[in-house]
Amino acid sequence: MRAGWQCAGFLAGMALFSVNQIQGGEMAADSFYSLKTVTLAGQPADLTQYSGKVSLVVNVASQCGFTPQYAGLEKLHEELKGRGFTVLGFPSNDFGQQEPGTPEEISTFCKKNYGVTFPLFGKLVTKAGPEQSPIYSFLGKTGHLPAWNFGKYVIGKDGHVAGFFPSSVTPDSADLRTAIEDALGH
């Protein structure tokens, strides 16, 4: 029995190591697109697939006063995806514990209420500290971290942050749209 527990402990440790490796990507990343994470469904996701595109990275939550921004984010995604643009949603429970759901609950909520088709990734920590996701550690190098849910980063085709917009800036904001258009080069 003891050997069985040791084996289970070893396998659990290896699984955590693998998930941390997938979520962690390269700690000294020089491009957002060099990072790795997991999808909301728990599958490995290499952000390299978005290299050469402009992305809008948003820390999302289902029970926030800003949650209706999902509709505008989806509209923006649909409108501009043919031009090399995508919205990337990263659920986080950091602010007011407004994203307590399971991955399945988050996915169902987003599809049912807002028709979300843009990619959603595994829940992560945005706040600075030992548990912070490498994704937000990279984004935080700009000197900006979200102060609440629905903080937005425009990521250029080269994987560098081209702009940061706080939660109060809506997806249809002229300033946000200008930053996205500038990054698209149009």
131: left (phi over 0), alpha (psi -120 to 50) or beta: alpha
Return the closest-CA partner of residue 77 out of 28, 132, 32, 115: 115
Return the closest-CA partner of residue 142 out of 123, 131, 122, 128: 128
Give the amino acid at 56. L
Cβ–Cβ under 8 Å, residues 113 and 145: no
Cβ–Cβ under 8 Å, residues 54 and 184: yes
Q: Give the three-class secondary structure for 155.
A: strand
Please confirm, yes or no, whether 149 is among the known catalytic residues.
no
The number of angstroms, rounded, from the C-alpha of 96 to the middle of its chain's C-alpha atoms is 18
Q: What's the count of helices (H) and strands (E) in the chain, helices before strands?
A: 5, 6
Give the amino acid at 28. A
Cα angle 105, 166, 161 (rounded to 5 degrees) comes to 95
Of the candidates 59, 93, 113, 149, the residue annotated as catalytic is 113
Catalytic residues: 113
